[in-house]
Every structure is written in C-alpha cells, then in structure tokens.
Amino acid sequence: MSRVVDRLRARRAGIDSSRLDPGLEGSDAGQQPAEADGAREVGVGVAAAHARRSLAGALGHQQRPLTKVSRNQQMASPAKRVSTSQSSVILWLLDSDPSIRWQVMRDLTDAPADEVGAERARVATEGAGARLLALQAPDGRWGGAAWNRGWDSTMHVLLLLKEMGLDPTSDGARRAVSLVRDRVTWQGCGPQEADDNPFFAGEVEPCINGQVGAVGAYFGQDVRGIVDRLLAEELPDGGWNCEAANGSTRSSFNTTICVLEALLEYERAVGGSPELTRASLRGQEYLLERRLFRRRSTGEVIERDRKGDAAWTRFAFPTWWHYDVLRGLEYLRRAGVAPDERVAEAIDLVASKRDDDGRWPLETRYPGKMLVETDEGEGRPSRWNTLRALRVLDWYSARD
C-alpha cells in the first residue's frame, strides 16, 4: 500500500505519522482496520491510485499538517466539530475526477510540482474535462450558442473548464479555444449590436463580459477590449452592475464578483497596471465593507439576491453568474488579499457548514442543463465545495 495512505490512516487513528518508519510500508505498522487495499485501489481506479502513490514522497518529508484548519474547526459548535481526521477527507477528495485531484494535491498536500502537473494534464484526457472537450461542435460551439440561459453554452463550458484547471497550454485546450476564437460569434445570443462580435470581444453586459473576460484571459486570448470596457463601467461605490445601463447607481454582488474574477485573470495573464490595480482594490473593498453578505447601509444580512432569489449563505458549484459567500472568499484568497476581521463572520459561516464527516454539502444547484455532472446531487456531500472550503479556511488560518 502506498506510503501516503499509511500516513493518512495513521493520522485518522491518532498516531503520530512522523514516527512511522518508511521502511515499514506494508508491515503491521502500516495496516489499519479498513477495507482491503486491493479492493480500495480498484474502487479508486488507476489514476487515483497513481495520485496517492505520487503523494507518498511529498508526505514523507512534510512536517506541517495536511491543511491548517484546526483553528477553524474550533470555531464551530461542539455538535458541528469534525468527527474524523482531515486525512480521511483528503482520501475522499482524491477518490475523484482529475480536475479535483490535481487541485487537492497542489493546495492541500504540498505534493511536488511535477506530480501535480502530471495529474493536471489528465484533465484534458480523462474524466469530465475530456468529456466536455469531446462535446464541442465543429463550428466551435457548445450547445449551439455563444451564451444561453442554460449551462451548456460555449461560455459556460469554458467557465467550467477553467474551474477544472484545464491546462491552457495543453493540445486539447489549444484546439478547443482556437475553434472558439476563429468561428464563434454572438449572433443571436445577445443584443443585436453585438451579433458580429467574435466571442472573445464579448457583448455589452458587464456580468457576461466578466465571465467571457475571465475565460479569455485564462486561456491566453486577447480580451483587452473587454477589460477596458469593464474598467470604464466601475460605479462610484467600487463595484459593477448589469443594470447600470438602465439607470442603477448601486453595484451588484453578482456582477461585481464576475468582473473581479476577470480582472484577476487578466492581471495574471498580462501583468498589472495602475488602473487595473485601483479598480480591483475598490472592488475588493466593496465586498469587504459589506462583510461579504451584509448591507452597508443597515448591516443586516442579505438573505436573498433580488435578481435570482439565490441565498448567498448557501453554497453552489458551479456558481455561474451567481454570487455566494464561499465564492467571494475564494476570490479574495486567489487575489492574495490578506484576511482581516471583516471576513471573520464569513469564515465562521463556512466552518459551521462542515458535516460530521468533515465534508461540505452541495446546498444549491441552479436549474439548467449541464453537459457533465460535477457532484452527486443537491444535499449530498460535495467534493468541489469541500475543496473550496478547505482552501479558504487554510488561507484564513495562515493570516498570523
């Protein structure tokens, strides 16, 4: 059995895994009462077994815990505290699609970069990522549209591939994105004035353009026109709103998070500028001043989104254009924002949703057609939400 499983099982049993002799692998010291190793490896599949074996070396010299969430575990009430060790959750996360496994290896285990990269490469050739790539039509589109009100359009598939971490330099990504760039327009999918726009030129609404800008920048496309437009559309309160064209002067959490994610991807792709930095900082303050889910004017919790009737305190994946607290925290983490007391309440909310097995559920699934399933269903434990929650708790606990 791989050294990583021995060590994770030792953690689960309360044994100091640093005292395990690597030379005892396969001996009684590494055998915990659990399902047969052979059955476990078959159940996980060859790729997952490889991921576990590849982590053995990393964990063999790793001195810190797998994640830094112990302080956050204490935030929850006794009834909500985790009844199993973090290592069992890591094993569960590894029993999954390559799109999750590589991110778990990178963010929760300190696996070597070359092994993380090898696992990431499987997104294009195995599992949900490969299925999505195979569904692209010869005209470059998914779902017959640049955008639609379901979740199977070109924009939505590219968003999901970005979340999965499809390597933009992979052959599969290059082929798919080239088809989109060269063949897809906004004909019949947005305002008539945008009909002839190439896909990566976007359309007119900042919420849509934020999502297009994010995937375009991630996949190495020229989205400077979208970014310039978004920078010019920032409202005085620091955010953005798709209804600004209709006279709204107050920003929307939904639109603001879409735009902020686009600006972040663009900055990562081509570098920052004073104007880009100013806009991003003002957008971040828009979220932080409101504690990520409160009204600035009254301090009351925003129970539901006015536009989509979504509860921001219930976590979905994929989120699409919808804002929620976990998405806001994930953005701040990825943007390298130093957490302060203004995110503490949101962090408490995330920690409180951990179940007795140390997992987070899929609380909301937005209606619409999806081309692949990403979780086991609403109300069930969600690997995507668990991965994302552990990352933000880790980010917060590392603030000191």
Percent of the chain scored above 70 by pLDDT? 78
Q: Which CB contacts under 8 angstroms, 24+ apart, belong to 121-126?
A: 121/167, 121/170, 122/47, 122/98, 123/98, 123/99, 123/164, 123/165, 123/166, 123/167, 123/170, 124/166, 124/167, 124/170, 124/171, 124/172, 124/173, 125/172, 126/47, 126/98
CA distance 212 to 322: 15
Say whether pLDDT at 322 is over 60: yes
What distance lies between CA 310 and its chain's CA centroid? 19
* Separation of alpha carbons 165 and 150, rounded Å: 22
Give pLDDT, residue 1.
Answer: 28
Question: Could you tell me the pLDDT band of residue 49, with boundaries at 50, 70 and 90?
Answer: low
Identify any residues that bridge with 185 across adjacent strands, giving them in sequence order.
198
The C-alpha atoms of residue 206 and residue 226 are separated, in whole angstroms, by: 9
Nearest-CA neighbor of 115 among 169, 47, 64?
Answer: 47
> For residue 96, what is the DSSP state?
S
Higher pLDDT, 237 or 21: 237
Q: Which residues of 152-161 are buried (b: 16+ CB within 10 A; e: fewer)?
A: bbbbbbbbbb
Element (H, E) at 375: none
Average pLDDT rounded to a whole number, residues 28-54: 41
Predicted structure pTM score: 0.83
pLDDT, position 310: 83
pLDDT over threshold 70, residue 296? yes
User: Could you tell me which residues are beta bridge partners of residue 294?
Assistant: 301
Q: Tens digit of pLDDT for each residue in 60-99?
A: 433 333 343 433 444 443 333 333 468 899 999 999 999 9
**What pLDDT is recorded for position 305?**
78
- Are 199 and 146 in contact, with CB atoms under 8 Å apart? yes
Secondary structure in 3-state letters for 126-147: CHHHHHHHHCCCCCCCECCECC
Average pLDDT over residues 353-370: 96
- Average pLDDT taken over every residue of the chain: 84
The per-residue pLDDT for 31 is 37
Q: At residue 40, does pLDDT exceed 60?
A: no
For the chain, the first-to-last Cα distance in angstroms comes to 37
**Banded pLDDT at 53 (limits 50, 70, 90):** low
